[in-house]
Amino acid sequence: MESVEKECGALGGLFQAIVNDMKSSYPVWEDFSAKATKLHSQLRTTILAAVAFLDAFQKVADMATNSGGATRDVSSALTRMCMRHRSIETKLRHFTNALMEGLVTPLQDRIEEWKKTANQLDKDHAKEYKRSRQEIKRKSLDTLKLQKKARKGEQN
């Protein structure tokens, strides 16, 4: 019977270690989520600055186009460069949106879910573990009583 109690204790300890690991990882996940949110915010600010810069750059290219003469080659080069940078801006926008919609928001939702689940698992486990230990003790005592009766029966 002692081996059964040892096995139960080992399994209970393992479960408790897993739950404790889950609980101790919350700050790391929350920090990651906060940093990802900050990155998202900074990227949005960067995009706004890039848009303003590219608008001003486009005005320079338009001015070069409208001035005529030898600046036409310069203006077409500036316009091409501006278009290429606008495509980079678009890709950065997609990345920024994906970061928030595909990572930060779902992660924040899951963190709360994980906290609740881990706490509930811990409560349920503690209750079930206590009940099981009591049952094992009761059965061990019953077994000992039956063994004593059997010994007395053999002696008579």
Residue 18: predicted pLDDT: 85
Residue 1: predicted pLDDT: 55
Q: Is the dihedral of CA 66, 69, 73, 78 positive or negative?
A: negative
Distances (CA, A) of 25 to 9, 22, 87, 118, 145: 24, 5, 39, 11, 47
Residue 139: predicted pLDDT: 86
Torsion of CA 14, 17, 21, 23, to 10 degrees: 120
Which CATH number does 1-154 carry?
Answer: 1.20.1270.60
Residue 49: predicted pLDDT: 96
R_g of the chain, CA atoms, integer Å: 34
Residue 93: predicted pLDDT: 96
Distances (CA, A) of 5 to 29, 140, 146: 36, 10, 19
Question: Each residue of 54-74: pLDDT tens digit?
Answer: 999 999 988 888 887 777 888
Interhelix angle 2-67/105-155, nearest 10 degrees: 170
Residue 25: predicted pLDDT: 87
Under 8 Å between Cβ of 129 and 12: yes
| Domain coordinates in residue numbering, the chain | 1-154
Question: Rounded to whole angstroms, how far apart are CA atoms 9 and 156?
Answer: 39
The stretches in the chain having pLDDT less than 50 are none
